[in-house]
Amino acid sequence: MSNNTANTSSTSEAISKATSTGRKAYRGEVLHFLADPAKVSEEESYQYFEDGLLVINNGLVEALGNAKDLLITLPADVIVTQYDNGLIMPGFIDTHVHYAQSEMVASYGEQLLEWLENYTFPEEKQFADIEHGKRVAEFFLTQLLDAGTTTALVFGTVHKESVEAFFIVAQQKKLRMICGKVLMNQNCPVDLSDTVESGYADSKALIEKWHNTDRLQYAITPRFAPTCSTDQLNKAGELLKEYPSVYLHTHLSENKDEIAWVSELFPDSDGYLDVYDKSSLLGRRSVFAHGVHLHDHECQRLSDTNSAIAFCPTSNLFLGSGCFNLKQAEEFDVNVGLGTDIGAGSSFSMLTTLNEGYKTQQLRGDKLSPYKSLYLATLGGAVALDLEGTIGNFVQGAEADFIVLDYQATPLMDVRIKRCNTLTEKLFVLSMLGDDRHVKATHIMGEKV
């Protein structure tokens, strides 16, 4: 993309002048977001083309517009793929998920702390073996792509090998993925424990090897405050200062027993978020999963530091953690993305996650519009990950990771969509009845996978 960075108004001209090498076009109904529907009017938040054309050059978005306007500007040899009875959208972005927990989804009967003890820790022990990690990473990434998710912020396990395995497989698939080795040195099984020094050294080695290699990025990943000593959290803060472009990924205020435990473990802190704040872990690339039970002053602090929350409704319902207060996050202008939180979440599908997200807001007496839902699953995730302009929508120059949703994949969707009279209704039905079956195609850097 050297000679095609012309602004949108001269896009047609740029297309007709450039050669068609490496260029592809996709025609169909297209939707993407330009802004948070909570911050602008709903109509200003998105662009929708009933008969649209998405033009891609060397894996990047070159143009988006009405097919009839753009087609005439394309050289005759550009292949145009047409998708009927469906919707072309940017790939979904999962802002919180544990790849190592893929095979333990749907583990019965516990809330957070017992669930970790009884199911998660035994599962994660297997990831000392890099071959096991590669096998599960392959399964996990295939599941994500089948569900239309093209980027995720991913927890590894405490083992350096788990992240090595994940990045090897993600690199082969040319994906934009963010992952990190778990830091935990207390309140966990001995054979899943690192030390302040080994956690620092392993993370640093992984950053040096993988951060910004191809489309891969690193996240410093303290599991959560209870499993990290103050020294370990401080060391994570030091590492973040050394590498300011890496991410910080952890859990926050998910469950009431957990919050009570944190206040016992860190009596000098003014609440859960403050534990992380005291170790300098808040910032533009910090993502905190859950935040179900946040105080106003904590939302203010997240907002002031440009930190993000990953809203994980299927997980919050599955573990009985509570219903995230999206309205509060909006009031304080906190960046929010959407997460499946596999394996506490029970589906890889972001559409299923939107369905559960809607219900959590209903239980609070709030409405979650389909525009806000689909924004959270795409551009909202990109904003939460500080990747706006790179992924999450179809602005010129963005990486062309996109999906095609199929209105006819199931009989119920088919009959229900046919009864919709407005775009709003159609998108709502899609977000309520959709799942991985409705993802007809997933494209990575313009290529169908």
Question: Which residues bind to Zn ion, rule: CB under 5 A?
Answer: 289, 341
Q: Nearest distance from residue 88's CB to Zn ion, in Å?
A: 31
Which residues, other chains included, contact 316 with Cβ-Cβ below 8 Å and sequence gap of 6+? Answer: 254, 290, 292, 322, 323, 324, 360
Which residue is at the shortest CB distance from Zn ion?
341
Measured N-to-C along each axis, helices 160-172 and 130-146 cross at an angle, to the nearest 10 degrees, of 50
Bin 89: left if φ > 0, else alpha if -120 < ψ < 50, else beta: beta
| Helix/strand/coil for 418 | helix
Nearest-5° Cα angle at 286, 284 to 288? 135
Query: Which structure tokens are listed for 133?
Result: 């990690």
Distances (CA, A) of 88 to 9, 47, 109, 301, 408: 23, 12, 39, 37, 14
DSSP string, 89-150: EEPEEEEEEEGGGGGG-S--S--HHHHIIIIIHHHHGGGGSHHHHHHHHHHHHHHHHHTTEE
Q: Nearest distance from residue 289's CB to Zn ion, in Å?
A: 5
Peptide bond into 339 cis (omega under 30): no
Where do we find the tokens 């909202």?
380
In angstroms, rounded to a whole number, what is the distance separating the alpha carbons of residues 357 and 250?
21
In angstroms, rounded to a whole number, what is the distance separating the alpha carbons of residues 96 and 396?
27
Where do we find the tokens 């207390």?
186
- Whether the CB-CB separation of 303 and 283 falls below 8 Å is answered with no
In angstroms, rounded to a whole number, what is the distance separating the alpha carbons of residues 236 and 197?
10
In angstroms, rounded to a whole number, what is the distance separating the alpha carbons of residues 210 and 192?
23
- Which element (helix H / strand E) includes 45? helix 42-45
Q: Nearest distance from residue 347's CB to Zn ion, in Å?
A: 14
Burial readout 85-107 (b: 16 or more C-beta within 10 A, e: otherwise): ebbbbbbbbbbbbbbbbbebbeb
